[in-house]
Amino acid sequence: MTSHSMSREEILALVPGLSDASLDALTDAGIVQPVLKGDAPRFRDIDAARLQLAVDLEDAFQLDSNALALVLSLIDQLHGLKGEMRAVLGALAAEPPETRARLRGIIRETRILRVRRR
């Protein structure tokens, strides 16, 4: 999706701690999905960042590829939601005070009061 991509050799050089074998394993497990261009896979910046995180997580928690895929999927969901939350908050911030007060009332009703009642 980004215009910049790199070869297998380049990404191995870029990501500290990433070995040839672990790149294969992570690709086979679908944890990283390189872009196919011609016959050789190309890696994007997002793949480099994801591989770096995968290496960090493997090292810190001694995760196998299933557990690693699960953790990364949770991170994808959480980060994605954070991005959306930020966008919603940004949109709310630009609304006039009356609108925000009205929404605050609804949010309070559905989230805070209901949670407390349980």
Partner 1 sequence: MTDDPYAALGVSRTASDAEIKKAYRKIARTDHPDLTDDPAAQERFKAASAAYDLLKEPEQRARFDRGEIDAQGQERPQRRYYRDFSESPDNPYRGQADFGDFSDVFADLFGQGGRSAGRQGGTRSFDMRGQDFRYTLEVDFLTAARGGTTRITLPDGQVLDVNIPAGTRDGQTIRLRGKGGPGMGEAPPGDALLALSVREDADWRTDGDDVITVLPISLDEAILGARVEAQTIDGPVMLTVPRGASSGQKLRLRGRGLQAAGGKRGDQHVELRVVMPPSIDDELARFVENWRKDHAYDPRAVRGKGGR
Residues that bind partner 1 (CB under 8 A): 1-4, 16, 33, 45-46, 48-50, 52-53, 56-57, 59-61, 72-73, 75-77, 79-84, 86-88
Q: Pick from 5, 76, 79: which is nearest to 40 by CA? A: 5
CB of residue 4 vs partner 1: minimum separation in angstroms? 7
CB of residue 46 vs partner 1: minimum separation in angstroms? 4
CB of residue 87 vs partner 1: minimum separation in angstroms? 7
Q: Pick from 30, 35, 39: which is nearest to 11 by CA? A: 35
**Who contacts 69 (Cβ-Cβ below 8 Å, separation ≥6)?**
29, 30, 31
